[in-house]
Chain A
Amino acid sequence: MSNVVEHDTPPATHGGNAPAGRLSAIRWRSAGIIVPFGALFLLLSVTSRPFLSTTNLLNILDQQASIVIMAAAGTLVLVSGAIDLSVGATYALAGVVAAQLVPHTGIPVALAAAVLVGLLVGLVNGVVTTYFRINALIATLAMSFIISGLANLVTDGNLLILTDSPDFANIARSAFLGVRSSIWITLLCVVAFGILLSRTRTGRYLYAVGGNAEAARLSGVRLNRVRVAAFMVSGLAAAVGGVIDVSRVLSAQSTSGATLTFTVLAGMVVGGTSIMGGEGAVWRTTIGVLFIALVGNGFDLLGVNPLYQQITLGIILLLAVGLDAWSRSRR
């Protein structure tokens, strides 16, 4: 073997344009949820006549309103590297507070109180997890017990029925351009949270904090403030969701949010937001929630035993997390 092997000097290449390959890889990843969603949508359109009707589709959106709103906000928390397990309880507390107040104070004050409750819970969650350095999973789990207890105190364990305040129904059920206000509120929240995450400085910081907290800190990001902000948005969203659902059914009870937290979490994860933080998008979460809703709707329309619905959801979740882990390991 000769000692020196000369090769032609390669032409100097300089990075400037994005190679198609890498961009398409990124797109493929974001598309992760779109493809199954589209496929399921198509499948249901073909197999079930009533599925594609405007009524059915709007119905799905109406029913998912609170979940979409809470998941959209929860995405911010997840991206920041934390998790909020108290949203279900907050949803219930805000709902019962509004329902308790509305007969006495009227709608505006009741709404303001509910929103305040949400923001306050978010603030406490944020402060406890940052300044007191308690792990978010544990802190918000503990908070959810406390909040549920408070909700119970508010209702005395009773179901609150708003027969005296029928106007409260207008919040979610008035129609505009043939679409219910619950859907409009959802749209507004999704757009607002989406913009907050993708277009603002706070949003950028959320990704940085979740992606590498120490790097963010040394870059002058105030970690605690950013995380508290995310929790407050999440609390606010839970309150909005709670009010919408009280308005939809004109009744409220302290236990209404029991499994909601996990439905919300499932939506985010299926949408491709990583529970490891630093990654995710509001629009993907939205599609994730709707994907799960479509599965449920499909099972209903096709008359499948609802038992399978839960099993299917579990499998979807595992697949989503598995895919995430797989794509991470291949990076």
Chain B
Amino acid sequence: MAVESVRDLQVELLGIRKHFGGAQALDDVSLRVAAGTVHALVGENGAGKSTLSKVCAGVISPDSGVVRAGGEDVVFRSPRDALARGIATIAQELALVPGLTVEQNVFLGAEPRRGGLLDRKALRRRYDELAEHVGFDLVPDSPVSSLRTADQQKVEILRALSSGASLIIMDEPTAALSREDTELLHDTIRLLVSGGRSVLLVSHFLSEVLELSDEVTILRDGRLVRTSAAADESEASLIDGMLGRSLDSVFPGLPPAPAESASIVLSAVGVHAPGVRGVDITVRAGEIVGLAGLVGAGRSELVMALVGASRVRSGEVTIDGEPVDVRAPSEAMRSGIALVPESRKEQGVVPLRSVEENATLASLATFSRAGFVDRRQERAAAGAVLESTRVRAASPRAPMSSLSGGNQQKVLFARALLCGPRLLIADEPTRGVDVGSRRAIYDLLVEQARAGLAVLVVSSDIEEVIGLSHRVLVMRGGRVTGELTGADITDENILTAAFLDTDTNKGADS
């Protein structure tokens, strides 16, 4: 049978310490994940959550401390060792082979063979068994690169299960998921747990944590704050524990919506591009427009078209009345459009370069004279913006790859702000950002709007859209299918518009 019998695995981490250079990422942290439970790990960006899960998964070896699996002390030298003990990871950044199919990825390295050759029939059979067991409906022979993130994640989960994992570590699995996919993943997690497996869940969504987990561990600055039953915690108590202070509201107060007479910054008319089928959109100075919709509704595609990163077939885009050349991002940026991209790993981070260089990458022209970079000026500007975006790095000179995921995201935000744009487009601006810093980013967005910028926010987090927007546009199938303002901006209205099929002329698009 493809799905191996589940061992009741209890994993313990005792007195784990880990430092990177001079930074103590983990300081004497202990944790016990009991079989058949969901154990959540929460904390600010850089608190050490990913590091701890990597220790558990054998990716990182701790400086000191003991890992105990099933009551035995174990030493993991690689993820493979951990897997042999039944511990698998769904990483914060997915690690699939894009060119291979779903089923090939699931059984990568463990392909059924017959006479040394790949046994395709057996592969499909085992895949079907596994997929049915979990209740996933993916097309087994579609290439992984063609799947959306949510589905890629399922592939990773299947891969973990195929190798008989009993403890599955999920580092921010729902950060990139739409609401429906999130629900689906939650069901999957429940299913896994009811089958006796356990899940170590890292998440910045506290409601998710409270809903799903049995126990919660709070980390702060690499130290254990407490472990307690989820039932004994509330969002407020978790925030208190994570931040060491309380947070009255996640969302800042919005400035009043700009008047009808406020000047129009962005005007896009009849935009046709890959995934975008005729969109009209305006954003006024001082206005924050939320772009909602399901994953695949064309929101990111629209954004990519606006910044000139995809092939725009037709349409007029103007900023402050001036036409924008949407054939290249460099041109769009020159017109005053700045972007915080959706995928920080693929589209944002230059991992080997310093935090500072990453922050100034898009605005380098401002800091150079006759082609030479004025480092002092650059440093000063970068320092200020990194401060205001609350980036926590050992040093502005530290390589970007050494930052925690949420802090990398904040650097990308800093990069966009440094461009001094007229229109700021943020695609999933708080993906992977902790509650405290999320507030900082919201504050920044509101501040930009107050200063007269036009702000366009794409988000799959409906609360974020509601809490942050003067006006909400809902997309579906590459079109804007709903526009909501004021009191009409509700959860229900957004969802209705997102699911509503107004697409009467199907197939009319080439």
A-to-B contact residues, CB < 8 Å: 1, 3-7, 9-10, 12-15, 17-26, 199-202, 204-205, 207-208, 211-212, 214-222, 278-279, 331
Contacts and interface: CB of A to CB of B under 8 A. Distances in A.
15 contacts: A4-B226, A6-B225, A9-B244, A10-B221, A12-B244, A14-B392, A18-B397, A19-B394, A20-B22, A22-B21, A22-B394, A200-B368, A200-B372, A204-B361, A208-B357
Contacts of A218: 307, 309, 329, 339, 341, 347-348
Given A9-B220, A220-B333, A278-B351, 4 more contacts: A3-B232, A17-B395, A22-B20, A217-B309
Contacts of A207: 350, 352-353, 357
B351 A7 contact: no
Secondary structure class of chain B's binding surface, majority of residues: mixed
Contact of A219 (B20, B362, B393): B362
A204 B373 contact: yes
B19 interface: yes
Contacts of B307: 218
B6 interface: no
B361 A22 contact: no
Contacts of A204: 357, 361, 364, 373
A200 B357 CA distance: 12
Contacts of B222: 10
B373 A215 contact: no
A15 B392 contact: yes
B227 interface: yes
B387 to A, nearest CB: 10
A10 B395 contact: no
A211 B232 contact: no
Interface in B320-368: 328-330, 332-334, 339, 341, 346-353, 357, 361-362, 364-365, 368
Interface in B362-413: 362, 364-365, 368, 371-373, 392-395, 397-399, 401-402
Nearest to A328: B352
A4 B232 contact: yes
B329 A220 contact: yes
B228 interface: yes
A19 B353 contact: no
A212 B400 CA distance: 12
Given A21-B22, A278-B352, A221 B244 contact: no
B23 interface: yes
A146 to B, nearest CB: 30
Contact of A201 (B329, B372, B392): B372
B392 A222 contact: no
B72 to A, nearest CB: 19
A19 B373 contact: no
B471 interface: no
Contacts of A22: 20-23, 394-395, 398, 402
A4 B228 contact: yes
B224 interface: yes
A5 B29 CA distance: 12
The 5 A-B residue pairs with the shortest CB-CB distance in the complex, in nearest-first order: A19-B22, A22-B21, A21-B21, A18-B395, A219-B362
A13 B24 CA distance: 11
Nearest to B244: A9
B154 interface: no
B415 interface: yes
Contacts of A199: 372-373
Contact of B330 (A5, A15, A18, A221): A221
A211 B350 contact: yes
Contact of B347 (A10, A201, A215): A215
A18 B394 contact: yes
Nearest to B30: A5
Contacts of B341: 215, 218
A227 B309 CA distance: 18
B500 interface: no
Nearest to A13: B221
B381 to A, nearest CB: 14
Contacts of A201: 364-365, 368, 371-373
B19 A21 contact: yes
B361 A202 contact: no
Residue of A3, A13, A204 ringed by the most chain B CB atoms within 10 A: A204
B108 interface: no
B281 interface: no
B396 to A, nearest CB: 8
A204 B334 CA distance: 19
